[in-house]
Amino acid sequence: MVEWSESERSIISGIFSTLDYNDVGPKALCRCLIVYPWTLRYFGTFGNLYNAEAIKSNPNVAAHGVKVLHGLDRAVKNMDNIKATYAELSVLHSEKLHVDPDNFKLLADCLTITVAAKLGSAFTPQVQATWTKFLAVVVSALGRQYH
């Protein structure tokens, strides 16, 4: 079980309260698909993903990026039991979609870069450490079914 200080809870809640999901989610997912092109294989039904411009302008990618951020809301609301919160989603990604669990970490890294760019100087070392801890817990929970 992960221990969260009140400061960490406040930081995570504060980040999510300021995020524009329609901006940050699509940008993070686009970054992941462009920088790590092998991740494209999980999005074969999304239409044209031929190059960076096609990925950035694809409405299915944008919608899924927003969906990912809304999925992270579940962790924010259930910080004391993130593992159980994502148990069903872990099974889905493992057994039905066959997603390589390392891709969760890649997306977390891209999301970190996108959030850091949005927050600018407010993305202090303490905020980054808390954000990284939060995403590590989420990534671990999503990859739980694979262990």
CB 25 within 8 A of CB 65: yes
Q: Indicate whether 10 pLDDT > 60.
A: yes
Q: How far apart are CA 9 and CA 14, in angstroms?
A: 8
Better-scored residue on pLDDT, 100 or 64: 64
> Which pLDDT does position 87 carry in this prediction?
58
- The share of the chain scoring above pLDDT 90, in percent, equals 63
CB 16 within 8 A of CB 76: yes
Where residue 94 falls (left for φ over 0; alpha for ψ -120 to 50; beta otherwise) is: alpha
Handedness of CA 15, 71, 57, 37 (dihedral sign): positive
| Global pTM exceeds 0.85 | yes
State pLDDT tens for residues 39-95.
888 788 899 999 999 999 999 999 999 999 998 988 898 888 777 666 565 554 455
Query: How many other β-carbons are positioned within 10 Å of the β-carbon of residue 41?
Result: 12
Tokens describing residue 18? 């300021």
